[in-house]
Amino acid sequence: MTDAANPANATTESALAPTPGHGRVLLAAPRGYCAGVDRAVETVEKALEKYGAPVYVRKEIVHNRYVVDTLAERGAVFVDQTFEAPEGAHLVFSAHGVSPAVHEEARSLSLKTLDATCPLVTKVHNEVKRFARDGYHILLVGHEGHEEVEGTAGEAPDVTHLVDGVEGVEKLPDFLHNEKLVWLSQTTLSVDETMEIVKLLHEKFEHLQDPPSDDICYATQNRQVAVKAIAADSDLFIVVGSQNSSNSKRLVEVALQAGSKAAYLVDYAKQIDPSWLEGVHTVGLSSGASVPEILVQEVLAFLAERGFSDVEEVTTAAEKITFALPRDLRPQHN
Ligand code: SF4
């Protein structure tokens, strides 16, 4: 019940968290691990099993603190640059993908590479290659400095132009009418914001072509739809995920845009400030695509201890997608 629905109690109750059993949690589904993250994490686990520690991983395998720390404890060594892995070592490329230049560098160092790039990121790489080959300029909607964008743009750096946010549209050069133009995107963007940017791109470049299919992946889209479904009924929205996780950050933005009064991103339950719960009756809860369910369960336990024990899961889609492991780690190769 909201204060507005019970005005007689608004002043006295609004400053307090609900008494046990009176607070409600709306739990978004789908949430958490997507097929690409599942595959990437399993790639490192299987590589450790098959080859033994250390197995080197270029960048964070997925953008989640807990996942990275857990794999590091098991013998994964995370490096920022390819050359930090010793010659001949096993090196895993993260789910975000890498440019051809990075593949080449790994080859020159005789590294044994395992590619955990999500197949849906690889799909965008292939689109960049194809459109570049066909003479297009590519307007890549995405966040500057994000590893996925660096890898994707690296497929055709001379003809790929990054569009970072609405402001990025103005920064683009003027393309002539006879120059072929197509837009593509990072896989983990806000669907609504991307559509706004694309609308501006179409206004600026009348001859701009749309991509053959969506680049924002099914998991990103499904998690945003699930958050939207419950955000308006939430006084507070908690998204479990790391600060450098693009899709997790987008969920916080989506929750606020869809009507939640407040929204926060936390890695762990212990980061929840109890003062956030003051006057709150309904908490919306979700997690980014790189977040293991155990972290969500810890948040649910934290909330239950503070009176939010009525949990309702709201499901907006069923996900059945899985991706096969890199060839060298499939069972027949053991
Ligand atoms: Fe792949 Fe989408 Fe998951 Fe990224 S969020 S790893 S693109 S399924």
CA 316 – ligand 1 centroid, Å: 18
Nearest Cα residue to 231 out of 273, 264, 269, 261 = 261
* Mean pLDDT confidence for 178-188: 97
Burial of 218 (0-12, 13-18, 19+ CB in 10 A): middle
What is the reported pLDDT for 4? 33
What is the reported pLDDT for 158? 98
* Mean pLDDT confidence for 48-55: 98
Q: What mean pLDDT, rounded, does the chain reach?
A: 94
The Cα 17–Cα 276 span in angstroms is 9
Residue 200, pLDDT above cutoff 80: yes
Nearest atom in ligand 1 to 188's CA: 5
The Cα 299–Cα 239 span in angstroms is 10
DSSP of 154-215, one letter per residue? TTSTTTEEEE-HHHHHHTSPPPPTTS-EEEEE-TTS-HHHHHHHHHHHHHH-TTPBPPSS--
pLDDT digits (tens, 9 = 90+) for 135-161: 999 999 999 999 999 999 999 999 999
Is 62 touching ligand 1 by the criterion CB < 6 Å?
no
Phi/psi region, residue 233 (left: phi>0; alpha: psi -120 to 50; beta: rest), is alpha
CA 148 – ligand 1 centroid, Å: 10
Nearest atom in ligand 1 to 119's CA: 1
Residue 82, pLDDT above cutoff 60: yes
Q: How many CB atoms lie within 10 A of CB 328?
A: 17
Nearest Cα residue to 245 out of 31, 15, 10 = 31
* Mean pLDDT confidence for 106-117: 98
Q: How confident is the model at residue 331 (pLDDT cuts 50, 70, 90)?
A: confident
Residue 61, pLDDT above cutoff 70: yes
CA 96 – ligand 1 centroid, Å: 8
Token output for 294: 């155990």
Residue 213, pLDDT above cutoff 50: yes
Which of 60, 148, 150, 155 is the catalytic position? 148
What is the reported pLDDT for 16? 52
Is 61 touching ligand 1 by the criterion CB < 6 Å?
no
Residue 58, pLDDT above cutoff 90: yes
Task: Indicate the pTM of the whole model.
Answer: 0.92
Q: Whose CA is nearest to atom 6 of ligand 1?
A: 36
What is the reported pLDDT for 281? 97
Residue 163, pLDDT above cutoff 90: yes
pLDDT digits (tens, 9 = 90+) for 305-327: 999 999 999 999 999 999 999 99
Active site residue 42: no
Nearest atom in ligand 1 to 95's CA: 6
Q: How confident is the model at residue 332 (pLDDT cuts 50, 70, 90)?
A: confident
What is the reported pLDDT for 103? 98
Question: Is omega for the bond preceding 331 within 30 degrees of 0, making it cis?
Answer: no
Residue 292, pLDDT above cutoff 70: yes
Is 220 touching ligand 1 by the criterion CB < 6 Å?
yes
Residue 11, pLDDT above cutoff 50: no
* Mean pLDDT confidence for 46-60: 98
DSSP state of 30: S
What is the reported pLDDT for 221? 97
* Mean pLDDT confidence for 121-130: 98
Q: How confident is the model at residue 101 (pLDDT cuts 50, 70, 90)?
A: very high
Q: How confident is the model at residue 333 (pLDDT cuts 50, 70, 90)?
A: low
CA 149 – ligand 1 centroid, Å: 13
What is the reported pLDDT for 1? 32
Q: Probe ligand 1: pick from 38, 62, 118, 321, max atoms within 8 Å of CB?
A: 118
What is the reported pLDDT for 97? 98
Query: How much of the chain, in percent, has pLDDT values that exceed 90?
Result: 92
Q: Probe ligand 1: pick from 217, 222, 251, max atoms within 8 Å of CB?
A: 217
Is 288 touching ligand 1 by the criterion CB < 6 Å?
no
